[in-house]
Amino acid sequence: MVTFFGINKEVVPLKDLLDDAEMCKKKMQTASALIDGLSGEKFRWTEQSKEFKEQINRLVSDVLQLAGFLSYCRPFNQNFHDLLLKDIWEEELRSNKIP
């Protein structure tokens, strides 16, 4: 019986180490899967960030056109709307270098 307890004292720490190693291995696999998943998102986030910057640059122009449309175009027909928006206002925005 003494021999069993002596062997058991040596085996238990080794088993604990093996259990810890297995747990670490599972954590590494989970972390690797997460990193792989997020690396694909980096490209999408970068592209989306560029799109947001472009939208911010166009915001002044968009708001100006919308305000003008709501103020001046309401009582007029579609042909006059197109004339104001596409021919007059967009040209005016370009000439003043408003994106």
3-state SS of the chain is CHHHHHHHHHHHHHHHHHHHHHHHHHHHHHHHHHHHHHHHHHHHHHHHHHHHHHHHHHHHHHHHHHHHHHHHHCCCCHHHHHHHHHHHHHHHHHHCCCC
Q: What is the pLDDT of residue 11?
A: 73
Q: What is the pLDDT of residues 13-52, one digit of tens each?
A: 888 888 899 999 999 999 998 888 888 788 888 899 999 9
* Cα dihedral across residues 15, 21, 27, 29: positive or negative: negative
Contact 65, 96 (CB under 8 A): no
Q: Which domain holds residue 27?
A: 2-95
pTM (two decimals): 0.46
Q: What is the pLDDT of residues 44-96, one digit of tens each?
A: 888 999 999 999 988 988 888 888 777 776 777 878 878 887 888 888 888 87
Whether the predicted pLDDT of 2 surpasses 60: no
Cα–Cα distance for residue pair 5/49, rounded to 1 Å? 64
Q: How confident is the model at residue 4 (pLDDT cuts 50, 70, 90)?
A: low
Whether the predicted pLDDT of 1 surpasses 70: no
Q: What is the pLDDT of residue 37?
A: 82
Contact 73, 80 (CB under 8 A): yes
